[in-house]
Amino acid sequence: MQGIAVLPQGLENEGVKELIALGAKSATPLKRSVAFKADMSCFYRLHLLARLPFRFLREIARFSCDDRQSLYFGIQNSLDWERWIHPSMTFRVDVTGRSKGLPNSYYTALQVKNALVDLQRTVWGKRSDINIENPDICLHVHLNSQGCVLSLDGSARSLHRRGYRAAVGLAPLKENLAAGLMQISGWDGKVPLVDPLCGSGTLLIEAVSSLLGLVPATNRSFLFEGWADFDPNLWDIEQKNAYSNESPKQIIPLVLGCEQDPVVANHARKNIQEAGLQRHIKIQTSHFRDLVLPDAPGLIVCNPPYGKRIGMYEDLEDLYEELSRFLKKNASGWHFWLLSGNRDLSRSIQMKATKKFPISNGGIDCRWLNYLIN
Ligand SMILES: C[S@@+](CC[C@H](N)C(=O)[O-])C[C@H]1O[C@@H](n2cnc3c(N)ncnc32)[C@H](O)[C@@H]1O
Q: Is the CB of 202 under 6 A from ligand 1?
A: yes
Rounded CA separation 139/157 (Å): 13
According to the model, what pLDDT value does residue 166 have? 79
Give domain status of residue 101, yes or no.
Answer: yes
Q: Is 193 exposed, middle or buried (0-12, 13-18, 19+ CB in 10 A)?
A: buried
Is residue 28 a part of any domain in this protein? yes
* Cβ-based neighbours of 322, under 8 Å, separated by 6 or more: 289
Q: Is the CB of 316 under 6 A from ligand 1?
A: no
Domain assignment present for residue 160? The answer is no
Mean pLDDT of the region 43-67: 97
Question: Do 201 and 138 reside in the same domain of the chain?
Answer: no
Q: Which of 153, 184, 200 is the last residue of a domain?
A: 153
What is the 3 state secondary structure string of the chain?
CEEEEECCCCCHHHHHHHHHHCCCEEEEEECCEEEEECCHHHHHHHHHHCCCCCEEEEEEEEECCCCHHHHHHHHHCCCCHHHHCCCCCCEEEEEEECECCECCHHHHHHHHHHHHHHHHHHHHCCCCCECCCCCCEEEEEEEECCEEEEEEECCCCCCCCCCCCCCCCCCCCCHHHHHHHHHHHCCCCCCCEEECCCCCCHHHHHHHHHHCCCCCCCCCCCHHHHCCCCCHHHHHHHHHHHHHCCCCCCCCCCEEEEECCHHHHHHHHHHHHHCCCCCCEEEEECCHHHCCCCCCCCEEEECCCCCCCCCCHHHHHHHHHHHHHHHHHHCCCCEEEEEECCHHHHHCCCCCCCEEEEEEECCEEEEEEEEECC
CATH of the domain at 184: 3.40.50.150
Is the domain of 100 the same as that of 24? yes
Q: Is residue 14 part of a domain?
A: yes
Position 312 pLDDT exceeds 90 = no
Separation of CA 52 and ligand 1 centre (Å): 23
> Does 167 reside within a domain?
no
Q: Is 260 in the pocket of ligand 1 (CB under 6 A)?
A: yes
The pick from 177, 182, 193, 197 for probing ligand 1's pocket by mutation, whose C-beta has the most ligand atoms within 8 angstroms, reads: 197
The residue whose C-alpha atom lies closest to atom 12 belonging to ligand 1 is: 197
Residue 219 belongs to some domain of the structure = no
Task: Kindly tell me if the per-residue pLDDT of 307 is higher than 80.
Answer: no
Higher pLDDT, 309 or 230: 230
In a shared domain, residues 29 and 112:
yes
Nearest CA among 49, 57, 39 for reference residue 18: 49
Q: Does the pLDDT value for residue 313 go beyond 90?
A: no
Identify whether residues 16 and 134 lie together within a single domain.
yes
- For 150-199, how does the pLDDT look when each residue is reduced to its tens digit (9 = 90+)? 999 999 999 999 999 877 777 789 999 999 999 999 999 999 999 999 99
Q: Is residue 237 part of a domain?
A: no
Q: Residue 15: which residues within 8 A CB-CB, separation 6 or more?
A: 5, 7, 27, 29, 33, 34, 52, 53, 180
- 312 and 249 within one domain: yes
- Boundary-marking domain end, from 122, 153, 184: 153
Same domain, 128 and 204: no
Average pLDDT over residues 12-25: 98
What residue type is assigned to position 18 of the chain? E
- Which are the contacts of 155, defined by CB distance < 8 A and separation ≥ 6? 47, 55, 56, 138, 220, 222, 223, 224
Residue of 162, 187, 138 lying closest to 298 (CA atoms) = 187
Domain coverage including residue 32: 2-153
Radius of gyration of the chain (CA): 23
Q: Is the CB of 346 under 6 A from ligand 1?
A: no
Contact by Cβ (8 Å): 92, 130: yes
Taking only the tens place, the pLDDT of each residue in 256-297 is 999 999 999 999 999 999 999 999 999 999 999 999 999 889
Is 361 close to ligand 1, i.e. is its CB under 6 Å away?
Answer: no
β-pairing, 255-259 with 281-285?
parallel
Region of 26 on the Ramachandran plot (φ > 0 left; ψ -120 to 50 alpha; else beta): left
In a shared domain, residues 345 and 201: yes
Task: Give yes or no: residues 18 and 129 share one domain.
Answer: yes
* pLDDT for position 314: 76
195 and 113 in a common domain: no
User: Is the CB of residue 304 below 6 angstroms from any atom belonging to ligand 1?
Assistant: yes
What CATH number does the domain containing 84 carry? Answer: 3.30.2130.30
Q: Could you tell me if 181 and 93 lie in one domain? A: no
Work out how many domains the chain is built from and give that number.
Answer: 2
Whether 224 maps to a domain, the answer reads no
Q: Per residue in 92-136, pLDDT tens?
A: 999 999 999 999 999 999 999 999 999 999 999 999 999 999 999
Judge if the beta carbon of residue 287 lies within 6 A of ligand 1. Answer: yes
Q: How confident is the model at residue 309 (pLDDT cuts 50, 70, 90)?
A: low
Are residues 196 and 313 both part of a single domain? yes
Q: Are residues 95 and 187 in the same domain?
A: no
User: How much distance in Å is there from the Cα of 277 to the middle of ligand 1?
Assistant: 20
